Amino acid sequence: MQIFETDALLVIDPQNDFCEGGALAVAGGAGIMPLINRLADRFDRVILTQDWHTPDQISFASNHPGAAPFTEIEVAYGRQMLWPDHCIQGAPGADFHPDAAPTVQKALAVIRKGYHPAVDSYSGFFENDHRTPTGLAGLLRDLGVTRVFLAGLAFDYCVRFTAEDAVREGFEAVVISDASRAIAPETAAAARDSFRALGVSDIEAAALLG
């Protein structure tokens, strides 16, 4: 698959807390960083997203007495999964994983998300209320981007919702599945079903690196 000047690589949340030893570790998370670096080397436009929560984030189970992580509650904007505290602003867990350093150095921009205490954010385009934009769409349009490739953590949440919103915002979206890792098989399957319905392509890195 050829990479054009109108393409961008979106690297989703390559952060310590989503890798082994982190507060919300995704199995194999650190292991995809070398592949992401190889992919980033092929693109002129690389943009990162970064979870950037305050301690009173509504999605933290610790802020809801008696609630357990990985259960859902009803909030003003709908159903919200509760998570362990993670990616807190300025904490080591929010830092980019050291193995992703070449990609971080190449990035044109970092889009921080989830910094509003009353609303979580999975997508790199919108907070979970589906109304509050992050500015990513405008940046991509200003750069002349028409197609985005996505990699990172986690495949079934932040990668998924960023890809879905990319299509809704008028971009072609391609997820690089082996440069991503999922939290759970069932939510990964749901992500793939959604991709098929929306026209999101799902490829392996070899299609770009070969």
Return the active site residues.
Answer: 13, 113, 158
Residue type, 186: E
- Sequence length of the chain is 210
